[in-house]
């Protein structure tokens, strides 16, 4: 179980032409990911989803709030003491081309973390070789053919599998996949998504999926939670299929309305939501962060900021004064 409470992060820009402008990347975010569970963070670039993922993986500091891993709060611990906790959380990056050292074979890539592991637990070289073959088999690669290869001899999909295998060498409890399929060829994407789902089911690894592509977020499992993040605030949160089928926050609705419709296979949603203007972070926000772009804003939205919570008749949490269901998602023609 990994939980976060009120995570806040502000990036201060110093020493350049933009000096003095602070960027509030996260404004008090709460999350909870159960052991073996799944969650997806979605939002546009710059919304803070990647920063949050990096904080969860221990790669970034945060200004305020608390992260607990397995019930242990991290803030009271010294960096050395935190290390074994954060090692349980492994990151899978977007670009499998730069995530692997081009001068190392797959065998060498996997041996480095395994050697550390073997030293800690007093295991033999033979165990390292067995374990390397085991993790490759887990990600659907044939150890015999892949171990001696260099990254440039593998396709994008195979490379991403090697990256995942490397993460598995340390027996992680959670994988943080940041846009892990966006650079993979379309015909192979589902294979990687299915692998992440499969690892959840077989090994009980929880998966945190960070993406701007809402549709891929469904494929980590239907018990997953979806967090819609806008400018550092979670604006809607709930079970993946509930939020996609019945979104209530106008921002979620805008995101879903913007997804291309496969004409010929699908019919567009009946009430698409188009934001009024483009994102402009230079102006101060007194009320709801989305108010200036929101077609349904009222006076209240401009003066007061809604907080994430539940209201009657809406199964998911949301941060909107005027939650209303709208049919925005394209429907398959076969169902009409």
Q: How far is the CB of 190 from another protein (least distance, A)?
A: 4
Which lies closer to another protein via its Cβ, residue 121 or residue 334? Answer: 334
The pair of structure tokens assigned to 84 is 């074994």
Q: How far is the CB of 113 from another protein (least distance, A)?
A: 26
Residue with tokens 């349980």: 88
Q: How far is the CB of 315 from another protein (least distance, A)?
A: 17
Q: State the Cα angle at 256 between 255 and 261, rounded to 5°.
A: 125
Which lies closer to another protein via its Cβ, residue 167 or residue 255? Answer: 255
Q: Which of 221, 169, 213 lies closest to 195, judged by CA?
A: 221
The answer to whether the beta carbons of residues 29 and 55 sit under 8 Å apart is: no
Which lies closer to another protein via its Cβ, residue 65 or residue 191? Answer: 191
- Residues within the interface to another protein (CB under 8 A): 44-45, 155-158, 185-191, 193-194, 212-216, 218-219, 222, 244-245, 254-265, 274-275, 278, 329-333, 335
Which lies closer to another protein via its Cβ, residue 158 or residue 308? Answer: 158
Q: How far is the CB of 180 from another protein (least distance, A)?
A: 13
DSSP letter string, 95-129: -TTTSS-TTS-HHHHHHHHHHHHHHHHT--HHHHH
Burial of 82 (0-12, 13-18, 19+ CB in 10 A): middle
Which lies closer to another protein via its Cβ, residue 119 or residue 202? Answer: 202
Buried b (16+ CB within 10 A) or exposed e, 311-327: eeebebbbbbbebeebe
Which lies closer to another protein via its Cβ, residue 74 or residue 188? Answer: 188
Q: How far is the CB of 101 from another protein (least distance, A)?
A: 22
Q: How far is the CB of 334 from another protein (least distance, A)?
A: 8
């Amino acid at each position: 179980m990994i939980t976060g409470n009120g995570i806040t992060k502000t990036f201060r820009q110093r020493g350049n032409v933009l000096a003095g402008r602070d960027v509030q990347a996260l404004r008090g975010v709460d999350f909870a990911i159960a052991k073996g569970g799944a969650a997806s963070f979605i939002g546009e670039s710059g919304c803070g989803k990647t920063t949050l993922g990096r904080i969860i993986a221990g790669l970034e500091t945060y200004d305020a709030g608390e992260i607990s891993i397995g019930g242990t709060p991290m803030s009271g611990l010294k960096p050395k003491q935190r290390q074994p906790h954060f090692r349980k959380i492994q990151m899978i990056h977007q670009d499998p081309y730069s995530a692997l050292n081009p001068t190392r074979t797959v065998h060498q890539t996997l041996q480095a973390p395994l050697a550390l592991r073997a030293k800690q637990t007093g295991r033999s070289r033979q165990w390292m070789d067995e374990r390397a073959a085991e993790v490759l088999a887990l990600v659907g690669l044939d150890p015999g053919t892949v171990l001696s290869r260099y990254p440039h001899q593998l396709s994008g999909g195979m490379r991403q599998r090697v990256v995942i295998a490397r993460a598995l060498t340390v027996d992680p409890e959670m994988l943080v996949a940041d846009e892990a399929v966006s650079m993979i060829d379309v015909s192979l994407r589902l294979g990687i998504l299915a692998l992440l789902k499969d690892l959840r089911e077989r090994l009980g690894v929880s998966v945190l999926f960070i993406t701007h592509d809402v549709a891929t977020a469904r494929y980590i499992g239907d018990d997953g939670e979806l967090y819609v993040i806008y400018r550092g605030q979670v604006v809607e949160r709930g079970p993946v299929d509930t939020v996609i089928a019945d979104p209530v926050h106008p921002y979620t609705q805008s995101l879903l309305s913007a997804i291309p419709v496969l004409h010929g296979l699908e019919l567009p949603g009946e009430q698409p939501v188009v934001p009024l203007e483009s994102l402009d972070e230079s102006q101060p926000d007194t009320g709801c962060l989305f108010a200036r772009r929101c077609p349904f804003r009222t006076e209240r939205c401009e003066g007061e900021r809604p907080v994430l919570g539940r209201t009657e008749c809406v199964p998911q949490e949301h941060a909107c004064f005027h939650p209303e269901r709208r049919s925005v998602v394209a429907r398959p023609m076969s169902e009409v």
